[in-house]
């Protein structure tokens, strides 16, 4: 995997852990404007799951992808960015994902 996306993210995880910090990875939201690009997002999200498992990070990644696949109306017309409600949903999903991690209590 040398030089791959997975390798680069692993290097970041290793550096963050070496600094005594914790890292939280999330699954990226879909890219509706391009099927080819969205295929890369799917691959990215698979790597996120692999890295969480391989590094025993002990949490389930906040899943922005699955949420927005079901709630496409929360995307802007460009198919790339969430709309106002979509950004609120992203905050809620992150809040739910962080709740209880690192001693955090998140109130949605």
Cβ atoms of residues 78 and 33 within 8 Å = yes
Residue appearing with tokens 């099927």:
35
Q: What is the pLDDT of residue 40?
A: 94
Burial class of residue 4, CB neighbours in 10 A (0-12, 13-18, 19+): exposed
State how far the Cα of 77 lies from the Cα of 50, in Å rounded to an integer.
Answer: 32
Q: Can you give the pTM of this predicted structure?
A: 0.88
Mean predicted confidence (pLDDT) in 22-48: 95
Q: What is the pLDDT of residue 36?
A: 96
Residue 2 pLDDT level (bands cut at 50, 70, 90):
confident
Q: Mind listing the pLDDT tens digit for each residue in 56-88? A: 998 889 999 999 999 999 999 999 999 999 999
Q: What is the pLDDT of residue 22?
A: 87
């Amino acid at each position: 995997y040398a030089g791959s996306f997975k390798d680069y993210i692993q290097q970041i995880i290793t550096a963050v852990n070496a600094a005594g910090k914790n890292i939280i990875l999330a699954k990226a939201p879909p890219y509706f404007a391009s099927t080819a690009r969205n295929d890369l997002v799917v691959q990215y999200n698979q790597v996120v799951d692999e890295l969480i498992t391989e590094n025993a990070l002990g949490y389930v990644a906040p899943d922005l992808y699955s949420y927005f696949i079901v709630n496409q109306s929360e995307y802007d017309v460009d198919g790339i960015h969430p709309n106002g409600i979509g950004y609120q949903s992203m905050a809620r999903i992150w809040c739910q994902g962080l709740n209880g991690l690192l001693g955090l209590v998140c109130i949605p």
